[in-house]
């Protein structure tokens, strides 16, 4: 009878996510640790494999009125879920448990991006920042002593790095929205207007940004296109001198023990963008499950756990105080470039949060960026076309 009472007292909560591979193993290790430290709570980790599947499963669970207790979610998903009344605001718990010091400890941009109106709906979960990774040995051979700080300098450096005789390239990348966004923000441009109803990426800043990328490929011949993450593999095998990625890419690259000194650097001209998801609690859960989910979120976003999470994965610690802890200080002494990359969170840019951006982002890639990179349309023609399609998608919501 005593055993049965103990079992019934454990609150079981389900956590849907899309963290696979080493990142998923790190997350599962932390979840098991939380469960050991909180014997009255059992967090059940459910890996959906990828974000597309996670999104589909979440929407299906809403229709069936059987959502998980909590889940990873991009802001564009949260916009839909919040408008539909399916989420329990994190603020309902944080207002009681967080001190003023806690609120001030979170990076402001991450808290701002977790609010809808004045309500804290979510909290940041796995947030990364964009960064450049470069072969320091190769740079030294060419007499380049530091990573370029502006896009103009990056072009100059790329021309120096290109070695046509050895078939070595300055850089490579797959068609993607993120590189375009970084250049766009560096120019002072916007993706959408302030109401998130109209495209702004097709203005002069957008045309300049896409033209710059196209010029790397076609005018100067210092870059080439790949598929998927092939550009990272080519970087590791020293076919290219530098690639852009997220702060999480560091862990991936180091697993392959590159035969050169790896450098990391901030995005030129303050063009860094924030990537990754937030964590939400669903309203359909019982009061006990919601409270248990909050206990996990509060634990996971503590400075101590964030420092461990960041060191193991490359994600940005969501709290400033995580940088002051001994384990983080030791890591930064070992890999000093990491602090410059992570600290971009102080000024990094965010993507639109409207529900229409989920599809709109894909249309920007397929109808705007990719046709220009493949020389099918000029940057201006491609972005003008993409803007019309994206605006049509935005108006559906």
pLDDT of residue 7: 47
The tokens for 179 are 């590189």
Residue with tokens 């639109």: 352
Q: Which of 335, 153, 152, 168 is nearest to 261 (CA)?
A: 335
CA distances from 201 to 178, 190, 366 (A): 13, 6, 14
Classify domain 129-273+351-395 by CATH architecture.
3-Layer(aba) Sandwich (3.40)
Positions in the chain whose pLDDT score sits under 70: 1-8
Kind of pairing between the strands at 123-135 and 240-246: antiparallel
Q: Which of 157, 154, 163, 164 is nearest to 143 (CA)?
A: 157
Q: Which helix (H) or strand (E) holds 62?
A: helix 51-63
pLDDT of residue 396: 86
pLDDT in tens, 72-120: 999 999 999 999 999 999 999 999 999 999 999 999 999 999 999 999 9
pLDDT of residue 8: 53
* Contact call for residues 181 and 350 (beta carbons, < 8 A): no
CATH topology agreement for domains 2-128+275-345 and 129-273+351-395: yes
CB-side exposure of 289: number of CA atoms within 13 Å? 18
* Contact call for residues 161 and 175 (beta carbons, < 8 A): no
pLDDT of residue 5: 44
* Contact call for residues 337 and 139 (beta carbons, < 8 A): no
CATH topology of domain 2-128+275-345: D-Maltodextrin-Binding Protein; domain 2 (3.40.190)
DSSP string, 214-267: HIIIIIS--EEE-STTHHHHHHHTTSEEEEEEETTHHHHHHHT--SS-EEEEPP
For the chain, the domains span 2-128+275-345, 129-273+351-395
CA–CA separation, 304 vs 316, rounded Å? 13
């Amino acid at each position: 009878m005593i055993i049965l009472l103990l079992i019934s007292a454990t609150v079981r909560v389900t956590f849907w996510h899309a963290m696979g591979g080493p990142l998923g193993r790190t997350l599962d290790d932390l979840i098991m640790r939380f469960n050991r430290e909180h014997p009255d709570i059992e967090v059940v980790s459910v890996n959906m494999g990828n974000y597309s599947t996670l999104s589909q499963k979440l929407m299906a669970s809403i229709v069936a009125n059987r959502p998980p207790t909590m889940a990873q979610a991009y802001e564009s998903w949260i916009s839909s879920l919040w408008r539909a009344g399916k989420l329990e605001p994190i603020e309902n718990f944080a207002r009681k448990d967080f001190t003023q010091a806690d609120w001030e400890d979170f990076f402001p941009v991450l808290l701002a991006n977790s609010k809808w109106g004045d309500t804290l709906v979510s909290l940041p979960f796995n947030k990364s920042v964009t960064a450049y990774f470069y072969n320091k040995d190769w740079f030294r051979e060419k007499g380049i002593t530091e990573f370029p700080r502006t896009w103009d300098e990056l072009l100059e450096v790329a021309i120096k790095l290109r070695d046509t005789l050895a078939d070595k390239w300055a850089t490579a990348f797959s068609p993607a929205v993120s590189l375009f966004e970084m250049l766009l923000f560096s120019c002072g441009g916007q993706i959408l207007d302030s109401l998130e109803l109209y495209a702004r990426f097709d203005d002069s800043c957008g045309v300049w940004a896409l033209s710059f990328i196209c010029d790397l490929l076609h005018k100067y011949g210092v870059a080439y296109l790949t598929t998927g993450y092939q550009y990272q593999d080519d970087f590791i095998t020293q076919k290219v001198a530098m690639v852009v990625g997220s702060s999480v890419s560091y862990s991936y690259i180091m697993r392959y023990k590159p035969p050169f000194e790896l450098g990391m650097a901030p995005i030129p001209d303050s063009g860094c963008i924030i990537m990754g998801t937030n964590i939400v609690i669903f309203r359909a859960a019982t009061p006990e499950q919601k409270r248990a989910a909050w206990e996990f979120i509060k634990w996971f976003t503590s400075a101590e756990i964030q420092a461990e999470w960041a060191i193991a994965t490359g994600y940005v610690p969501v709290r400033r105080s995580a940088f002051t802890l001994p384990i983080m200080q030791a890591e930064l002494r070992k890999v000093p470039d990491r602090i410059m990359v992570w600290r971009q969170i102080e000024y990094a840019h965010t993507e639109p949060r409207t529900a229409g951006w989920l599809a709109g982002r894909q249309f920007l890639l397929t109808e705007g960026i990719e046709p220009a990179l493949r020389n099918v349309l000029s940057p201006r023609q491609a972005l003008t076309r993409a803007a019309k399609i994206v605006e049509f998608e935005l108006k559906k919501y």
